[in-house]
């Protein structure tokens, strides 16, 4: 068993399950670290239940949740067992690629998150703890297009959520934009950078009142605007020229 990470409430290990020829991730959480743990209740299972009810491919499913007492320490743990995802956390990716993150990567991240937000909204579920350590970045060798994939873990139980999922995604977006070398980008990507920074980060993702911004709390409209950025740039470039198009969205 290999230690692969330590979070706010527990430690995560990777181990190979020979009988199914696959790797699993085990998160060991001391029961006193579970905010919703009660010996006679199972509210702490909500982390796994939230993940397993969702169909979105970003979500890493749980295979089991067990109680375990360390015979040496005499300490009780809850062990969350889930599929192991090969790759880096988004936090590790950011540290390894500071100054080298491409706008297409950020667009793919946002698209993945908007898809997740849409299902969460439809089901009345809140993730409650989206941040760069709880998002995994992976790329399959067997994907013909070579697209990067984002996988999400560690849902918070109801009543213990952190800032809204939209604000949490905005905070991750801010970190990603800080890793872009703006002056080295093509004009199209500079235009998109300005749209993401000024519109998505500055307004759409942080506004909680849909009457103030019709894209606030609306994953479908957020995705629609993200899908339209190339058309927006083409139209602006045709009427003003590409450099003027970039200046027109710069704040």
- Domains in the chain, ordered, with CATH? 2-83 (3.30.200.20), 88-249 (1.10.510.10)
Distances (CA, A) of 153 to 20, 164, 218, 225, 246: 22, 16, 22, 26, 36
Percent of the chain surpassing pLDDT 70: 97
* Mean pLDDT, rounded, for 95-115: 97
* Spatial separation of the C-alpha atoms in residues 166 and 17, rounded to whole Å: 36
Q: Could you give the count of Cα atoms lying within 13 Å of 219 in the half-sphere of its Cβ?
A: 16
Q: What is the structure's pLDDT at 57?
A: 95
- Supply 237's token pair: 């470039």
Which pLDDT does position 65 carry in this prediction? 95
* 172: enclosing H helix or E strand: helix 165-177
User: Look-up: residue for tokens 């970039």?
Assistant: 246
* pLDDT exceeds 60 at position 128: yes
Query: CA-to-CA distance for 145 and 163, rounded, in angstroms?
Result: 35
pLDDT band at 34 (very low <50, low <70, confident <90, very high): confident
Any idea what DSSP says for residue 153?
Answer: -
Dihedral Cα 22, 25, 31, 35, nearest 10 deg: -130
- Rounded Cα–Cα distance for residues 176 and 190 (Å): 14
**Per residue in 47-63, pLDDT tens?**
999 999 999 999 999 99
Give how far Cα 145 sits from Cα of 74, 85, 200, Å: 50, 19, 27
């Amino acid at each position: 068993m290999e230690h692969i990470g330590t979070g706010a409430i527990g430690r995560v290990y990777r181990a190979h399950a020979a009988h199914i020829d696959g790797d699993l991730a085990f998160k060991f959480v001391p029961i006193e670290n579970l905010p919703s743990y009660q010996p006679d209740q199972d509210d702490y299972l909500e982390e796994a239940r939230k993940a397993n009810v969702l169909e979105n491919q970003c979500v890493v499913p749980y295979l089991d949740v067990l109680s375990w007492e360390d015979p040496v320490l005499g300490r009780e743990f809850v062990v969350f067992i889930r599929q192991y995802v090969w790759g880096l956390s988004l936090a590790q990716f950011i540290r390894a690629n500071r100054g080298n993150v491409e706008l297409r990567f950020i667009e793919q991240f946002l698209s993945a998150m908007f898809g997740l937000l849409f299902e969460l909204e439809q089901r009345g579920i809140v993730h409650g703890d989206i941040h760069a350590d709880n998002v995994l970045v992976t790329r399959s060798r067997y994907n013909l297009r070579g697209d990067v994939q984002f996988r999400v873990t560690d849902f918070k139980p109801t009543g213990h959520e952190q800032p809204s999922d939209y604000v949490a995604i905005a905070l991750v977006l801010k970190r990603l934009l800080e890793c872009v070398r703006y002056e080295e980008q093509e004009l199209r990507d500079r235009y998109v950078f300005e749209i993401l920074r000024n519109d998505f980060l500055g307004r759409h993702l942080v506004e909680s009142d849909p009457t103030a911004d019709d894209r606030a709390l609306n994953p479908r409209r957020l995705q629609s605007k993200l899908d339209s950025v190339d058309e927006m740039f083409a139209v602006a470039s045709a009427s003003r020229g590409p450099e003027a198009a970039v200046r027109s969205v710069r704040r």
